[in-house]
Amino acid sequence: MRVSVFSTKSYEREFLEGANHGRHELVFLEARLEPSTAVLAQGSDAVCIFVNDIVDRAVLETLTELGVGVIALRCSGYNNVDVGTASQRELTVVNVPAYSPHAVAEHTLALLLTLNRKIHRAWNRVREGNFALDGLLGYDLQGRTAGVVGTGAIGGVTARTFSCLGMRVLGHDPSPDPELEPDVLEYVELDALFAEADIISLHCPLTDGTRHLIDSETLGLMKHGATLLNTGRGALIDTPAVIDALKTGQLGGLGIDVYEEEASLFFEDRSEQILLDDTFARLLTFPNVVVTAHQGFFTTDAMETIARTTMENLSLIEGGEAAQNRVAWTDDSADSAPSG
Ligand code: NAI
C-alpha cells in the first residue's frame, strides 16, 4: 500500500520504517493534513495522520477524489476526524487504541509531582545558587483525594497509580470498569468528584459532550485550591475560565500536556518566534502552572507499539481482513466531528 504519512517528525520515521519491514511504500511528509495540503496524498491508497491533522468534510472530499480509501491514525483519539462523513464515503478509519496507557499515566504523575513539589522552580533556583526553600512547600499526596474523569485505559492506570500512593480515588465514567471498584476507586457523580477531590485528572475523550467540561461553573464546584491535570485533549477545559480561577486561587495548580489551540503551537521549535497566543502566554506566567507540549505518549515503548500497530492495521486492510482497530461510526464519534 502507498501511504502518505502526514506531520512526520524525524524521531517518528525510524520507528515507522522499523515496523514496516518493507510492506508498504511510506511517503513521509512534514505538512499537517488539512484542506490545503490534502492534495499531497495524490497517488496514495492511505493517509497516516497524527493528533493535530484535520480530516474534515473538505479533506474527505479531496481524499475521495484522489482515490484514498484509508485513514490510519497513529494515535488513539480521533476527535480530529469526521468519522461520520468518512463512513458515508466508505473510507476506512483505523487507530491505535491502547498503545501504552502507562506512558500517559506516568506523565500525568510527573505533572502532579512537579507541581506539588515545585520541581520546575527548584531546578532553576539550584542552578542559580539559590538554595532557599521559601515558596517550595508541597503536601503529602498520601491521604489526599484524587478524582479521575474517564477511567478507560489511561484513566484506569492513573487511578491505580494514585491508589498506590495512598490516595483515596474517586472515578467518574459513563461506563464504569468493574475491575477498578472497590479496590482502586469509588465511582461517584461528576459533581461529587469535583466537590471532594484535591486533584482532578482528565482522561475522557473529547466530544461535544465533554468540550469545556471544565468551565467557570464546574471550576466553582471544586475545592478551593484544587489541582487540575489534563493529559486528555485541550478543549476539555475552557482555558480563559481556568486562568480566572488561577488568578483568584480557586484553582491551586494546573498541569497540562494538551491545549485547545495547540495545533498552531505544538510539535515545532518556535523559540525564535513571537508568541502570538495571548491566552497561552498568560498561562505561562503562573508559577503554579506546568505545561508540556503533548508529550505524554512519547516513550520508546509507546512509539514502538504505535508504529507496529499502524503497520499491522494497514496490512490487515490491504489483505482484505477487517482491521481490528477500525473506528466505528457511533453517535459519539459523530458528535466529535471537527468543524475545521
Ligand atoms: P479509553 O477509550 O480507553 O478511555 C476513555 C474513557 O472515557 C472510557 O472509559 C469512556 O467511557 C470514558 N468517557 C467517555 N465519555 C466520558 C464522560 N463524559 N465523562 C467521563 N468519562 C467519559 O481512552 P484512553 O486510551 O484512556 O485515552 C483517553 C484520552 O487520552 C484519549 O481520548 C485522548 O484524548 C487522550 N490521550 C492523550 C495522549 C497524550 O499524549 N497526552 C495520548 C493518548 C491519548
232 lines ligand 1 (CB under 6 A): yes
Query: For the segment 184-228, what is each residue's pLDDT rounded down to a tens digit?
Result: 999 999 999 999 999 999 999 999 999 999 999 999 999 999 999
**CA 306 – CA 293 distance, rounded (Å):** 19
Determine the atom of ligand 1 nearest the C-alpha atom of 172. 20
Q: Cα separations (Å) of 77 from 190, 234, 257, 290?
A: 22, 12, 14, 23
**Close Cβ partners of 36 (under 8 Å, ≥ 6 residues apart):** none
> Which DSSP string do the residues of 6-57 spell out, in sequence order?
TT--HHHHHHHHHHHTTSSEEEE--SPPSTTTGGGGTT-SEEEE-TT--B-H
> Which DSSP string do the residues of 258-322 spell out, in sequence order?
--TTGGGTTTS--TTS----HHHHHHTT-TTEEE--S-TT-SHHHHHHHHHHHHHHHHHHHTTPP
35 lines ligand 1 (CB under 6 A): no
SS3 content of the chain, % helix, strand, coil (to 5): 40, 15, 45
296 lines ligand 1 (CB under 6 A): yes
Cell of 257: 500536556
Determine the atom of ligand 1 nearest the C-alpha atom of 204. 7
CB-count exposure of residue 227 (10 Å: 0-12, 13-18, 19+): buried
Q: Is 205 helix (H, G, I), strand (E, B) or coil?
A: coil
Set out the domains of the chain in order of their start, with CATH numbers.
2-99+300-335 (3.40.50.720), 101-291 (3.40.50.720)
Catalytic-residue membership of 262:
yes
Query: For the segment 242-279, what is each residue's pLDDT rounded down to a tens digit?
Result: 999 999 999 999 999 999 999 999 999 999 999 999 99
Backbone angles phi, psi at 221, to 5 degrees: -80, -15
> Which DSSP string do the residues of 301-316 spell out, in sequence order?
HHHHHHHHHHHHHHHH
What is this structure's pTM? 0.92
Catalytic-residue membership of 21:
no
Centre of ligand 1 to C-alpha 157, Å, is 12
Catalytic-residue membership of 224:
no
**CA 305 – CA 75 distance, rounded (Å):** 10
pLDDT band at 331 (very low <50, low <70, confident <90, very high): low
Determine the atom of ligand 1 nearest the C-alpha atom of 98. 25
Query: For the segment 37-74, what is each residue's pLDDT rounded down to a tens digit?
Result: 999 999 999 999 999 999 999 999 999 999 999 999 99
155 lines ligand 1 (CB under 6 A): yes
Query: For the segment 95-115, what is each residue's pLDDT rounded down to a tens digit?
Result: 998 889 999 999 999 999 999
**Of the candidates 152, 298, 289, which has an alpha carbon nearest to the alpha carbon of residue 229?**
289
Half-sphere exposure (CA, 13 Å, Cβ side) for 331? 1
